[in-house]
Structure 1
């Protein structure tokens, strides 16, 4: 009996061929399409207005921080993350000798939904203040989208459900929703390479208990704004330097007051 080609039984040679292809296919799935990694030193300078407005409302002070940052993309998804250590040079910077070191870490991912521009979006942000023995972790799960415009501008918006887990005395549980995006644009000027980037997060419908317990002069407003816009200069492949405008409202432990800062950054790119 003859068989249609699509039903032809596997021969020993065919079986061996497929056995050889399987590891190759698996390796291809784990082969990055793009990747980057860098280490940076940063100085965050809060505006005078912010320091005045927050003096008794989760007071803000200027600080240095070190950061490791990286990302990787495959044909099925992409991942991004960073780890910051703030005030690493001095564990007793405050007048009351309280430990002034802090850390922040973030991981985001887009898991692509087939050949569409949509994705499953996941996001975890973890912040720890060792002087106050406090911590908070925000988790987001939802949908993302990816688009590159003809001129080279790219944007990746997302919308997701939010959960928060705080330390002792804080709030744990569902915490409304988060919408936001990251975007970027590369360009050349004066024979030099530059790029513009922006990350933005808008939280809304947050839990009343969280807004009351996790802010110094709570309750904070139900809508929170958080983000930064940056201009980067790439003088060489190994070096990137830039300036960022940092902004927030009803975030960072401060209820109601707007906060803004400039961040000055020097990166060493090693991937």
Structure 2
């Protein structure tokens, strides 16, 4: 539990740092917001997540509150968020035996530090998820990223790195690699300020242990009848594509298509819609 508290503290610190300039660095941009969001899993996702694993990891719709921020300096970029999922159940008396309905805290912090005068960066991120049913997972990625900026409103930040995972069911260890990107495209339509964003993560060469867990002491791993195939294959896909409408300088509305494959505790494709309303500081 202490590891998750430290991770949450790290993300809080990162978000705070994003909104405050320093005398040592020139700040190019910065943003911060709070939002309320509703994630609606598709019926097929709920069925697959329930049937494939006999109820373990079954998906359930939920509301979450988010604090998010980011900033760019002459030395690099920082970003972070904290999510409070199922916030009405944060009184410690939630569904302890059903993680999909439990109170959860998810937090992420990332940093990209410029390498010389190039567009390359030393990149790292840490993500943590903890819920009141007792489950937790942390993911750390260390590698490089690259900045692509255009004059017509498109920006892309691809990355690749080594992946380390800490999971309450299996422990901690090296978990292959992760590659992905974050991109955005700002444009106007009918006089309205709009933006398309996409974040995408691809895990590869995963450790066998991370692909599931044994349900008996004699279980030998993948291929055994007693092996719970929660994350399935040696690769996994995770991401979302979104359309944002900046209704005013203070208020933004968004709709996101959330997707995952061999990830999030289900060895199958999963998809959801997320409806968001943000207040921008």
TM class by shorter-chain length? Answer: 0.7 to 0.9
Contact 2:213 2:229 in 1 (8 A): no
Checking the alignment, whether the CA contact within 8 Å between 1:171 and 1:210 is kept in structure 2 is: no
Unmatched 5+ residue regions in structure 2?
A: 1-20, 215-226
After superposition, the Cα gap between the structure-2 partners of 1:173 and 1:51, relative to the gap in structure 1 and judged at 3 Å, is same
Correspondent of 1:100 among 102, 106, 117: 102
1:178 aligns with 2:173: no
Higher Rg: 1
Counterpart residue number, 1:150: 151
TM-score by length of 1: 0.84
CA contact (8 A) 2:96 2:132 kept: no
Q: 1:115 offset after TM fit, Å?
A: 1.1
Unpaired stretches in structure 1, ≥5 consecutive residues: 1-25
Q: Show CA shifts across 1:143-180 (max 9, x none).
A: 1000112322100000000001122x323110000000
Q: Please report how far the alpha carbon of residue 97 of structure 1 lies from its aligned counterpart in structure 2 after TM superposition.
A: 8.5
**1:228 corresponding residue in structure 2:** 240
- Structure 1 residue runs of 4 or more that deviate by more than 6 Å after TM superposition: 95-99
Distance 2:96 2:72 in 1: 45
Instruction: Kindly report which structure 2 residues correspond to 1:124-143, keeping only aligned pairs within 5 A, or say none.
Output: 124-131=126-133, 133-143=134-144
Q: Hey, what does 1:117 align to over in structure 2? A: 119
Alignment of 1:38-77 (within 5 A): 38-56=33-51, 57=53, 58-77=57-76
After superposition, the Cα gap between the structure-2 partners of 1:27 and 1:107, relative to the gap in structure 1 and judged at 3 Å, is: closer
Normalised TM-score (structure 2) = 0.81
CA deviation string 1:180-216 (max 9, x = no partner)? 0000000001111000000000000000112122995
Q: Does the aligned pair in 1 maintain the 2:63–2:86 contact within 8 Å?
A: yes
CA distance, structure 2, for counterparts of residue 164 and residue 186 of structure 1: 34
Is 2:232 aligned against 1:217? no
1:240 aligns with 2:262: no
- May I ask how many residue pairs the two structures share in their alignment? 242
Using the TM superposition, give the Cα deviation of residue 218 of structure 1 relative to its aligned residue in structure 2, in angstroms: 4.0
Is the aligned partner of 1:251 residue 2:263? yes
Deviates most, 85-94 or 36-45? 85-94
